[in-house]
Structure 1
Amino acid sequence: MDMTTSDPLVGATLDRRYFVESRIAGGGMATVYVAHDLRLDRRLALKVMHPSLAQDPTFVQRFINEAHSVAKLSHPNVVQVFDQGEDQGHVFLAMEYVPGLTLRDRLRAAGRLRPREALHVMASVLAALGAAHQAGMIHRDVKPENVLITQEGMVKVADFGLARAVEQSNQGLTRTGTLMGTAAYLAPEQIEQGVADARTDVYAAGIMLYELLTGGQPHTGETPIAIAYQHVTEDVPRPSHFLPGLPPEVDDLVTKATERDPRYRPSNAGQYLAKVLEVLNRLPEDGEPAGGPLSPVAQPGAATAAVTAPQLIAGGAGPGTENATMVVDMSGADLDGGGYDDGGYDDGYVEDDADALRRRRRLLLGIGGAIVAIVVCVAGWWLFLGRFESVPDVRGDSVDAARAAVRAEGLILVEAAEPVYSDFEAGAVARTEPGAGERLSPGDEVTAYVSQGPRVVEMPDLVGEESTNAMAAMEELGFGPDNLQEEVVDAEDVPPGQVISTDPAAGEDADREETVTIQVSRGIQVPAVAGQELEEAQRTLEELGLTVEVVEEESEDVDEGVVITQDPDNGSTVGANATVTLTVSTGPPGIEIPDVLGMRVGEARKELEEAGFKVKVERIAGGRTVARQSHTGEAPEGTEIEIVATPGGIDFGDFGDFDDD
């Protein structure tokens, strides 16, 4: 029959906002529809409680409160809750619509998953459960049907908190000896004691990992009690029993999570996630192709037929409902005697057997009550004290030392972006948020604010210091360039560049957020004298009270006696009586003058000209031999050298001149 066309809600509008388009699926507690949000113009999923449950105001209130808690979960792997409401007896949740398949659909199509693929899926599921556990919530119905896979491959967990709300409402919903859940995923403590915490979700996650790896559930039977009995009395087999090549660390992930004693399981999904990621990072790439499901595990003497919907809850049967969330009747279960009865409603017991059974039930209830009390106390201690870590006092420690101390408490230290003023020395931890003694969950972050020293310091005595040294001293005290102002003033009695005074004065308080003014002497400004004759430059500088020092230097470009450079350069500021060094040109560099005495006139002329000199010849008595030359040693290139030639090269001294002719 077409359930969509016969469903009265299809085509209706709830809360004058949500137009119901079609039915997606039905479960033991609610029916899910695709709806259109008329206000925000978007598609979403509308989960409507069954009318029989919606008639109980206590359950409705608990459901509403739980919906509020679920709506606070903001995690990419959690199906988000947008709204909650009631319209003409229909209690509903407006939720994120996730088109795609369930993990059950994926498992049916593939048979089983490769180890790496299975662990990737489990990592996303555990991340979602970890967020719920961190928020103090328990899913209580972890199974492939409640895991959605989007068209992009994103894994999202649905149905947070609904099973918990049902279990908390006992009037008109369940009878003594029943509990809500899916028999194949119930933890032993749920069956024996009716209690659940984060470890029951871990147990169900371990069962689901087993199913992803092998393609079948570890415990099967003809009735829910048969399956429950196996959870309580039988260990979950190691998957490698059916997959010989499976790495042992993957086996351990299943067996640790499915320990029958919850004390030996990971305490929450976050711890289990850390173990899964550790194994996943070490696991080699899958070489084995995914295959069909392996043979289901059959305990000795137990049937292997799947549990059907009529066996789980009163109502019509139908295909594909073996893993629906149902009311499991435990009233007739014999979890002590190695077997179970046929449902606990047989009136054929003799009186003595009935009395014995009642006494045994009372004993079990008494023991169960004591265990529940202990669990409640331990859970209360864990909830309010045990699961939290205390923030250590690391004020005054270095950042590295503080990080080690915080890590030792199971917390994470992060450094604040901006330093703060404090009485602790610069670089030390000034304070933390949360403060010392505050209690946090393991893995939470503690923000450390690093000290940059006190805001107000004593102003040092900088008078007489060079301005650059004074500025460096203030920066070492933590003053930034924007808070330091240099003011240059005329002070003939103070050397230029030296500090005259400061504001605040030495010894007073200096605020590192305020401006500090440092007065510096300007001194005497050196004029430009390069290019002037030496005498003129000396006169200019000495009139300003400066001392002149002269250094000579050859120059091909600057005439002799002209200033080439000055030090300090023009524009510099110096104090009174400061020395200015002038470099003065001595003209071009000299060339060695050849000695031509005794040479014939022609040879002498040639040698001097080749050396770069000009030659003037004077002959006495028609002489042809050089008897005298006007220059010896060195002379600038182009200097005129006069040579005197006499007969035989005899030097006639001052005896008259003779014509060259």
Structure 2
Amino acid sequence: MSTAPRVLGGRYEVGELIGRGGMADVHLGHDTRLGRQVAIKMLRSDLARDANFLLRFRREAQSAAGLNHPAIVAIFDSGEDDSAVEGPNGTRTTLPYIVMEYVDGETLRQQLSKRKQFEPAEAIRVTEGILDALAYSHRMGIVHRDIKPANVMITSSGHVKVMDFGIARAIADTAATMTQTQSVVGTAQYLSPEQAQGQTVDERSDLYSTGCLLFELLAGRPPFTGDSPVAIAYQHVGELPQPPSVFNDAVGGDLDAVTLHALAKDREARYQNASAFRTDLENVRFGRSISTAALGTAAAVGAVATQTLPQSYAVAGSPTAVQSPVTERSERYANTAGLPAVGHDEEDDERKGGRGKAALITVLITAVLALVGWGAVTWFSNQTPAVTLVSVPTIEGMKGDVAAQTLATNNLRGEKSTAPSTTVTEGDVISQDPKSGTRIAEQSVVKYVVSTGPDSLTVPDVTGFDKDAARAELEKQGFVVSGFQEENTPDQEKNKVTKTDPAARAVVAKGSKIRIFYATGNVKVPDNLVGQDWALAAVALQNAGLQPRKETVESAKNPDEVLSVDQAGNVVKMGTSITVKVAKAPTPPPVTVTSPPPTTPGTTTTGTGTATPTP
């Protein structure tokens, strides 16, 4: 006989175990009220009596509940179940749970286990999605503090979802260090130096962890490895990482530079916000110049970007420079101490004669070239008019038409192109080449890229809107409403929106068609209640938006067993009173007691009512 599923909060049915972490188990769940799949995260029962874990688990619900972003796993509800855990001496312990968006996909950790390394273009795309989520959470005042592959989901459609804000803290919390009860909180391979040292963290700590994650996507391993978490933490604090190109030939110099800049030890020297990090990744993806700061970091650790993007992810037509061969003597030796003594060369003295002749020929050729060059310069100076140089203005962030006018005002010509962007408003300039402040000749061409906005949009949640207001909101955000569909449901009042198809928070192409479902104000009377207990039937009717009315009927059935439900299966107005006939025990027949009639002398009685005279 199958047992009834466990129900939390009167509405969430707990299903199979789909995930397990160090702090909690995750089950597939079903929201019986809204009829949708959810994921239910429950604190492990052996940790339910630990105050630190309880605080951390409750903080996750509080931190993530206010975050509404397509790249962050949504928190729908939370609560505590007081019927699940048996404590010492028979006491009951509450078990907190969080109801989350169910994500059909895999974690980055699972994908890395299969693929080892990501293609550079795919690694950039995934990291951009993570940075979108962090830019939003930081803007909302929340630092994640545990970015790692196990906390990033890739949906079956390829979208990025950041989850597990279990140790997240408010940016403004000055006590938000990474030490709790004398231990470091986080995962060793992705700890920022300030986290490893127990210092106060901020959003830049998340960016360092994201740099570690990007490094692993490209290299197939974290930037630092060791025999213990402590050994790895020491490396985060004191050792410089190798460029990811050491482990993956497909990684180019610019991508090396961006990754290494994110991994700068001093938080003041790395990316200062998620948007700056994402912009540099986007520049790599489109073959544009990356920030001077990133190039400077790469040069400081000896990983100067001597080549641009490999062909695997370069924009068509972008050049790929090649490392020039080392030919000078000074380049063949590490320092001046390694150079041959003055007056001697590396060659054997037996070849001095040949070298003398070669040197004489070289001097003669150099003299001839110098004379030719002097003559050319003299001629061009007499023929070519003087060139007027102008400074390139800043047009990034301007509207496209304003940028064109600004360039014309400065005697420059603009060459416009377009590209989608999730961070730059549609119609604004994303980037320019040359950069602002560069001195170039008048009438030179300045190339600039204008944003066409995101090529995909997130469906807004219009649940509870009036259906016409919902249409206006969806059309305002770039969707096409394909029609309306009635729905008999108790979840909303008449003419209020119950859901959309595609559903709220789904990421779809710009201009997609959306169908709106709205409540009719009617509901269907459940038709599967006969045989159930009256209490369960009453709850089911109330959840359906109806008013149950009990009527008892004598029956041989079990007491309170439902015998019939008025209008079962029919559609009626929400709030209608529904009569439910339930069984009660039949009234037993009355017991008749017969008293004997009074007797007189000289008579005897026989039977129950007959008197016989005695002789």
TM-score normalized by the length of structure 1? 0.40
Structure (1 or 2) with the larger CA radius of gyration: 1
TM-score normalized by the length of structure 2? 0.43
